[in-house]
Chains A and B, each alone.
Chain A
Amino acid sequence: MLKISNIETFYGNIQALRGVNVKVENGEIVALIGSNGAGKSTLLMTVSGVNKASAGEIVFNDKNIESLLPHDIVNLGISQVPEGRRIFSRLTVEDNLRLGASSNDKGIHYSKDIKDIYDLFPILKDRLGQRGGTLSGGEQQMLAIGRALMARPKMLLLDEPSLGIAPKLVNQIFVAIKNINKEKKVTIFLVEQNAKKALELADRGYVLVNGSVTLEGSGQELLKNEDIQAAYLEGGGKK
């Protein structure tokens, strides 16, 4: 469904991605793990078109998207939940959700789609008229995911959904991600620092180190891998 080949991305003179290859099949949950500054977010931003790749190819459903503009990519069916949620904090929850539906003609499904979002995250219904900035971190993350879903994506890019959120809510959000994947049939490409949680959820995973993929495999394989345990999972490095 999504094939990223030999992607290179620069910030000015600094190379953030050095020939990354990642493949995401239809219906999968794929996790990308790696430490701070490995280039995880850059990869997602490059897929969604906010950052431009200087070399390489990104193919989504047999269509090259690496040179398209972000809003065109959203229209093709890739929505992103950006890192740090990036809620419109002075707009109401409802306006945030409406903005999610701003691509294409998706606005006409608004009332049906918003019901689905409420089923997924009932708390948002109670917060409808409240400004986005007054929500808790977890609620904001739910809102950010809901906002991205309003565009009816085929594929959802999630950037660190557990960042800065209470552990109890993290579980809730991961359950919701699983639901979105299984029930709404949305393919999920997930970037996480919380490697354990992400790999438990994912069908397959990739490990990104200094801008290149060093390991790939099924979620279970990677969880058992000793190098990964040492580098990213608790209990590692004791031997």
Chain B
Amino acid sequence: MRKNFLKFSVKDSLFTGLIALALFGPIVGLRTVAKNEILIVQPKWLIVILIVAVCAIGRFLINLYVFKRDQKLGNQSTIGKSIGNFLDTKGTQIAISAIIFSVIFPFLPFTDRYLMDIAIMMLTYIMLGWGLNIVIGLAGLLDLGYVAFYAVGAYSYALFAIHFGWSFWICLPLAGIFAAMFGVLLGFPVLRLRGDYLAIVTLAFGEMIRILLLNWYELTKGPDGLTGIPRPSFFGLPFKSFPDEGEQTFHTFFGLEYNPMQRIIFLYYLILVLALITNLFTIKIRKLPIGRAWEALREDEIACKSLGVNPRNTKLTAFAIGAMFGGFAGSFFATRQAFISPESFTFIESAIIVAIVVLGGMGSQTGVVLSTVFLIGLIEVFRDFESYRMIAFGGAMVLIMIFRPRGILATRKPTIILNNKD
């Protein structure tokens, strides 16, 4: 058995090397350079050999130490198992300590402007992940165009705030309602679609919204983007260093020195509260009939129909509520940036949010947090090595898929496990 396995591993890794060669050979190996006004091909075989070797050896090691095909089915590798056990048993404690940590985070001694910005960005993604988790994790509808609702939220917030001068607290729910309406709009044509087909249509929807924003110049200023989006105020008290005559601002009202960090900290708590509301909402709605119907729909649509669950309404509410939270996050994004353009809402954003949900373990709320910290944190850490960022991102996904194939925190496990009797 062992010997066969070794043979299999060698074969497998050679095959992997072959695929890597076929892929990277032309893409990386053949490079065109302009010389004497003509393009000539300049091969770079050394780097190709390096990549192929990394792929083959990596595959060999994974085979040997992780997959261990001669093991009994269901036995995980030891590393995966220990991480898994830790996360499974300590899930609640992790969640509580994470909340406490995030509440005191702005006042920790090492916290600076840079870390705050990253934290705000992470929380935005966590909120998006939680919102999308309703659609993907609970209702089981693979939505690859979630960024569309983020964009709709951001643009409707910006347009309301710029043109009507309404405050953040009026525009926020409006943007959410607007995004929810777009959710229903997307929901109707995809009601009959499932799986891959649904994914493709939602992906197209995301692109349509982006292209619409790019071309509807009169409304959205197209590629120029919208500028001068009002900043949120602290219950009517703006954050300004030099208040107008007779105007109360945050720092004058509380008798503080003006400090630009005050606004950042306020934004931080704002997104923290918004994200926690999203989380609380999801936890609560899971126990209500509509939440149960979502999960049932994910399990078996025909059984749902035969029980009198209306699949149309159930799917539409899932799309609408998921979209609404995307819209809230979009509003926050707009008010934080004070500038938005269609560039912020490309497919890669959707892909990152889907990756966060899937890698976190579909349906797991804590999993979304962990995978956000992991993925977004990783992207940030590699900010200085610009060209390696995407490699690190891809590598992280591969690692998670190897060690935790059902996501960092898999909720899809039986509640009782029978012990093997051998």
Contact = CB atoms under 8 A, between A and B. Distances in A.
Contact of A88 (B300, B306, B308, B412): B300
A147 B307 contact: yes
B74 interface: no
B305 A88 contact: no
A88 B303 contact: yes
Interface residues of B, number: 20
Interface in A14-37: none
A181 interface: no
Interface stretch (B188-196, B223-231, B290-298, B397-405): B290-298
A79 interface: yes
A98 B416 contact: no
A74 B296 CA distance: 17
A50 to B, nearest CB: 5
B309 A99 contact: yes
Interface residues on A, range: 35 or more
B305 A70 contact: yes
B318 to A, nearest CB: 15
Contact of B299 (A49, A79, A91): A91
B307 A102 contact: yes
A133 B303 CA distance: 14
B419 interface: no
Contact of A74 (B289, B302, B308): B308
Contact of A50 (B289, B293, B302, B415): B302
Interface in A65-110: 69-71, 74-75, 79-82, 86-92, 95, 98-100, 102-104, 107
A55 B305 CA distance: 22
A146 to B, nearest CB: 12
A151 interface: yes
A91 B306 contact: no
B71 interface: no
A88 B296 contact: yes
Contacts of A131: 414-415
A86 B303 contact: yes
B296 A91 contact: yes
B306 A129 contact: no
A81 B302 CA distance: 11
B414 A134 contact: yes
Contacts of B289: 98, 102, 107
24 contacts: A69-B310, A74-B306, A74-B308, A79-B307, A80-B306, A82-B303, A86-B300, A86-B303, A87-B300, A90-B295, A95-B295, A95-B296, A99-B292, A99-B309, A102-B289, A102-B292, A102-B293, A102-B309, A103-B307, A103-B308, A103-B309, A104-B308, A129-B415, A151-B307
Interface of A: 48-50, 69-71, 74-75, 79-82, 86-92, 95, 98-100, 102-104, 107, 129-131, 133-134, 147-148, 151
Given A71-B308, A79-B306, A91-B299, 6 more contacts: A50-B306, A80-B306, A88-B295, A88-B303, A91-B292, A102-B308
